[in-house]
Structure 1
């Protein structure tokens, strides 16, 4: 089957509502070929299709890693390169896709999660400081969603890599989605180095859209902050 036909088939699968049906359809395709089509889909403008592609990247790259680990590493390097200014691209959907991959494959998480977290950190003067701070607010939205996803599925690893200290800087973001997702990530992580700033967000009525468990909902920053505060007190 040509790459064009595979891409069209993958897009048709992603338009379905049932994630289980999407997963079954993708499992019938060659993992490498499916991943190439999914990489193009994670930056699509259609909201549901794009999020389904993010979820599907997790399943498919994990399957590829089980079949051929080096091939999966090549995909990870390709995703990371797309976030590099020198790539000429923008990297829409990449942090989200990386988080899904890490949730589905422990080995890839162990190897690459530090790179995802580096995008929350500024470059430092010392040689060991490896920050790659993302300044673009739209990319920060994806990064903070990814942080929340990591907190859900790789909490201990995220804590060990210091993610708790990376989140408070986003509580004061001018972007409501970034603020809300940072609060959510802190709650899911169960650790917050600046609880006072988190509590200040509990009066923030700005709206955002949240993808979780295969569904998209409208929530306020205040709702996410209140949920986070409750988790932190539990």
Structure 2
């Protein structure tokens, strides 16, 4: 089957299927490398369902590849990381989210690359592993903060050990509602942050954002996510 035909079939499945478990089963019939090539184009699409389902699929597909060809899986992650750098000439849409999904599905890759993903929340300077690679573009920050929340869900101890609790408070005052909301959500999921006063302030913030969680996309408010974060911190 040609690369073009595979891409067309994959895109159709991502658009049509609503259940992630069924989607994973249907996509498992494709070779991992062929599927990943199609997913790279899908994670940067404007259609929400297509993009987010591609992000989820990238996670389990690269993890599947890593079980047989770990070096190839590392190349995929490095390609995604590279797309976030100005030198790449790309934009990096969908890259932080896809990386987070991959790290959720593969513990070994998480241990190798969590610190690199977190570096995009940090300014240049002295760090344990490398200088920071702070992302200034608010649209990319949205993806990065969603990724932070995903890591807090699936790799909480590792994220805490790498200092993510100190990276999040700066985003709670972002002019972008999605960044504010997703950072509040990440704080709550991580369960650690010296920022409860700011979260209390955000419970009056009724700006809306779109949230992808458990395969579904919904509209929520910053206030709702801040209140949930406070509940988790106080539990």
Unaligned runs of 5+ in 1: none
**If the length of structure 2 is used for normalisation, what is the TM-score?**
0.97
1:126 deviation in Å? 7.4
Q: Which residue of 1 aligns with 2:211?
A: 210
Under a length normalisation based on structure 1, what TM-score does the superposition of the two structures give? Answer: 0.97
SS in 1 for 2:211: strand
CA distance in 2 between partners of 1:158 and 1:128 (Å): 14
Residue by residue over 1:113-148, the C-alpha shift from the partner in whole angstroms, topping out at 9 and shown as x without a partner, is 111000000001679652000000000000000000
Inter-partner Cα distance in structure 2 for 1:126 and 1:3: 42
Identify the residue that residue 25 of structure 2 maps to in structure 1. 24
Aligned to 2:145: 144
Match of 2:157 in 1: 156
Q: Offset of 1:164 from its aligned partner?
A: 0.3
Aligned in 2, Cα 1:126/1:190: closer, same or farther, shift over 3 Å?
closer
CA distance in 2, matches of 1:23, 1:212: 16
Q: Please report how far the alpha carbon of residue 180 of structure 1 lies from its aligned counterpart in structure 2 after TM superposition.
A: 0.4
Residues 171-186 of structure 1: matches in 2 within 5 Å?
A: 171-186=172-187
Q: Distance in 2 between matches of 1:80 and 1:146?
A: 13
* Equivalent residue, structure 2, for 1:12: 12
Q: Equivalents in 2 of 1:191, 1:216: separation in Å?
A: 26
* More divergent stretch after superposition (108-117 vs 16-25): 16-25
- Matched with 1:114 is 115
Quote the residue 1:99 is aligned against: 100
Equivalent residue, structure 2, for 1:39: 40
Structure 2 residue ranges without an equivalent (≥5): none
**What is the RMSD of the two structures over their aligned residues, measured on CA atoms?**
1.2
State the match for 1:3 in structure 2: 3
Q: Give 1:18 shift.
A: 2.0
Q: Deviations over 1:7-61 (max 9, x none)?
A: 1111011012122221112111110110111011000111011000000000100
Contact preservation (8 Å) 2:115, 2:129: no
> Structure 2 vs 1, CA of residues 128 and 56 (structure 1 numbering), >3 Å: closer, same or farther?
closer
> Is this contact kept in 1: 2:118–2:164, CA < 8 A?
yes
Q: How big is each residue's C-alpha offset from its partner over 1:91-134, in whole Å with a ceiling of 9 and x where there is no partner?
A: 00000001110110001100011110000000016796520000
Q: C-alpha distance in 1, partners of 2:144/2:10?
A: 25
> Deviations for 1:43-84, whole angstroms, at most 9, x for unmatched residues?
011101100000000010000000110010110111111111
Q: Which moved more, 1:31-40 or 1:125-134?
A: 125-134
